[in-house]
Structure 1
Amino acid sequence: MDMKTVERNPADVGFVPQPKRWAVEQSYGIMVLHRRLVRDHEHRTASSESRVYWAMSDVITRRLSDTTTPTWRDA
């Protein structure tokens, strides 16, 4: 995996979202909606990794089927 540092343009004034960082922050925000990913309950990294895959596959499934599932916010 290649890592590149995104430099801020000195001419920009105020808040300007950076393209790659914005995608990462959005992914973190989506994962927080899944209860088991809010805290680190797992002892093994493989368990945590499987929970992330499970959460993101749920997101992809909902986007493809154009349906919503009830969340704690709907209660």
Structure 2
Amino acid sequence: MGEVIEKAIKWFSRFAVALGGFLIFVGIVAVGVFIISYLGIVDFGVIETENIQSVSLLLLFVIGLLDVVGGIILWKR
């Protein structure tokens, strides 16, 4: 029984590290896109259609949920 718990804890630790790395990467990309857009290097007017805007908001929401899950896992650890 103790081995199963240790394996589960080890798996959650690896999952938390992988999720944290992914979220750091996504955060860096999001900041980069914001800076490029803010400086006017690239015009993101193509994304202003309603369908694509909804998908973008959904992706940001999912990333936020993953961030919360990763934070809870790391907090409980």
Bigger proportion of residues as helix: 2
Q: Which has the higher contact order (CA 8 A, sep 6+)?
A: 2
Query: TM-score, normalized by length of structure 1?
Result: 0.34
Query: TM-score, normalized by length of structure 2?
Result: 0.33
